Amino acid sequence: MIFLPKNLGPAWKTPVTGDVMRHCLAALALTFWMGCSTQSEAQQQHCRLALLLALDVSSSVDSEEYILQRDGLAAALNDPLIRGAILDGEGHVSIAIYEWSGRRQNAMVSNWVALTDGTAIDGLINNLVTTPRSQTRFPTAMGYALGYGATLLSRGPKCDRQVIDLSGDGENNDGFPPRLAYKNFPFANVTVNGLAVLGGSDDVLDYFQREVRFGFGAFVETSAGYQGYREAMTRKLFRELNDMILTANPITNARPG
């Protein structure tokens, strides 16, 4: 509703000038409202970050560890600091989630969602915790998982930054390795951060640092087993959402192998 002033002097009361002034003021008010509305719509349409969360459901992850991983991510997304980091800033964040294990066992948990308000975040979390686990008995095909993620990003929303957040507790043991995924799939301007779950493979952290971490500002977060997954994911999301480089070293040279 547009409210016009009632007392604009004698001119307001004359038949001709009064109508002209009313129309002019109404036009100015409408222009101002449309300008604010357009600015708000542009803010919602502008995506600052496309974040793709990849969860390990290979055979090395038992049912209890899977629940800790799934619920840990849900709790991290629901953390007040993370919700604030998602909703604050110039432009919105879009998130998609998928599970990965064997060569052809990648499965969507949630397709791309533009997180423009708290309701959208709630819907993403609900989708995450109510979707059944897709696989339990396949090996760790990390290269295939990354190739699948790159394809999802290329078909997803156009955003200022594109990040894949890959969680895992072991090394690739099926199919081509990550370095071949980076060479053969569309990873230009994509950053891959890792969340290495410690306690399984002795070399998991070194492997994530050497083979998984990719792109400008990429980093690897660590979790002390799946019991520490919630805290590790919260730290990781906070860095990614705030585009915090910290002491991460960008990878600019050719990858090994």
Q: How far apart are CA 46 and CA 157, in angstroms?
A: 10
CATH superfamily assigned to domain 47-241: von Willebrand factor, type A domain (3.40.50.410)
* Residues 170 and 200 sit within 8 Å (Cβ to Cβ): yes
pLDDT of residue 19: 60
31 or 126, higher pLDDT: 126
Q: Is the pLDDT of residue 23 over 70?
A: no
Q: What is the mean pLDDT of residues 73-89?
A: 97
pLDDT in tens, 87-146: 998 999 999 999 999 999 999 999 999 999 999 999 999 999 999 999 999 999 999 999
Cα–Cα nearest to 216, from 252, 246, 242: 252
Give the mean model confidence (pLDDT) for residues 16-40.
49
DSSP 214: B
Whether residue 248 is predicted with pLDDT greater than 50 in this model: the reply is: no
Per-residue confidence (pLDDT) for residue 214, from 0 to 100: 98
| Residue boundaries of the structural domains of the chain | 10-42, 47-241
Does residue 41 have a pLDDT over 60? no
Q: How many residues does the chain have?
A: 257
More confident residue, 32 or 120: 120
Classify each residue of 225-244 as buried b or exposed e, where b means 16 or more C-beta atoms within 10 Å of its C-beta: ebebbbbbbbebbbbbbeee
Q: Residue 59: is it exposed, middle or buried by C-beta count within 10 angstroms (0-12/13-18/19+)? A: middle
- List CB contacts of 90: < 8 A, sequence separation 6 or more: 43, 46, 48
Instruction: For residues 154-174, give the mean pLDDT.
Output: 96
In tens, the pLDDT along 177-215 reads 999 999 999 999 999 999 999 987 779 999 999 999 999
